[in-house]
Every structure is written in structure tokens, then in C-alpha cells.
Amino acid sequence: MTSDDLSVITFGTFDVFHVGHLRILERAAQLGDRLVVGVSSDELNIRKKGRAPIYPQHDRMRIVAALGCVDEVFIEESLEKKREYIFRYNADILAMGDDWRGRFDKFGDICRVVYFKRTPSVSTTAVIEQIRS
Ligand code: C2G
């Protein structure tokens, strides 16, 4: 890692990992030289989505960390700590899916903010519903 390498940061639950998750991580990695991923904690998901993820945080972290395009993972404890995480990981770019469009523009003062088009017709919720039906 040299000082002019570009660091990219992204965040997600990555529960019941699917191709939509893979594509956003691959595209985020292509923006820079290093990709750091904040995997949201089980507790944050209970607060955020009202239910615990199917896969516990330890397993979701291991799956994301094992991907070739990912250099580092950490636990995202709060949605309010993004500015702190951007500084902590020296991120030059914050990349997210466009379901978050506009929500992170406020970090444009400390890094570049990029929104990628979500992968259509695949979601963790739909997978869970399909399995349940
Ligand atoms: N995603 C995608 N295409 C899909 C599903 C998800 O591109 N079909 C992207 C989302 O836009 C997000 C990432 O994959 O950028 C992770 O999605 P989730 O696991 O659903 O995470 P989310 O609830 O968006 O959590 O601090 C932000 C949160 O941690 C984000």
C-alpha cells in the first residue's frame, strides 16, 4: 500500500450472500487499489431491519473476507459512524448501491461518493421468502 493508492470503503449486511452482493463488491474494488468492507453487526440489523440476519455476523464477515476483491473487513456497529470509519480506514471513495442514493452525499467533503446500480431481481428478502414458500 503506497500513499497514492486509492482506498475504497463500502458497507452492507451481506446476509444469505448472493450475486448482487458479489457484483457491488467487485465494482467497488475496481474503483481503487484496496477495498475495505464494513459488515453490519447482528445488533445493528435488529435495530435497522427489526430482525436478526439469517447468518450471524461472524459468518457474514468470513464470507466477505474470503473474496478475492476484498482486502479488509470490519464490524459496522452504527449507521451514524460512517465519517469515523471513512477516516479510520483512510478511504478516498465511498461506494454503495443506488438504493442509498443521496443518503451519503454529506460525506462528499472527505471522500468521493459513488452509487452503483443495484443488481436487479435478486435480494436476500426474496431468497428467504422463496425458501419459506
Ligand atoms: N445490493 C445490490 N444489488 C442487490 C442487492 C444488494 O447492489 N440486488 C447492494 C446494496 O445496494 C448494498 C450492498 O449490496 O450496497 C449490501 O446490501 P445489503 O446487504 O442489503 O446491505 P444494506 O442493508 O444495504 O446495508 O451502512 C449501510 C448498511 O450497512 C447497508
| Probe target for ligand 1 pocket from 99, 101, 121, with the most ligand atoms within 8 Å of CB | 99
pLDDT in tens, 95-114: 999 999 999 999 999 999 99
40, three cell numbers: 453490519
Edge-to-edge strand list for the sheet holding 7-12 = 72-76, 34-40, 7-12, 93-97, 112-116
How many angstroms separate the alpha carbon of residue 13 from the centre of ligand 1?
7
Between CA 48 and CA 29 the distance in angstroms is: 26
Tell me the pLDDT tens digit for each residue of 13-30: 999 999 999 999 999 999
Give 40-88 pLDDT, tens digit per residue. Answer: 999 999 998 899 999 999 999 999 999 999 999 999 999 999 999 999 9
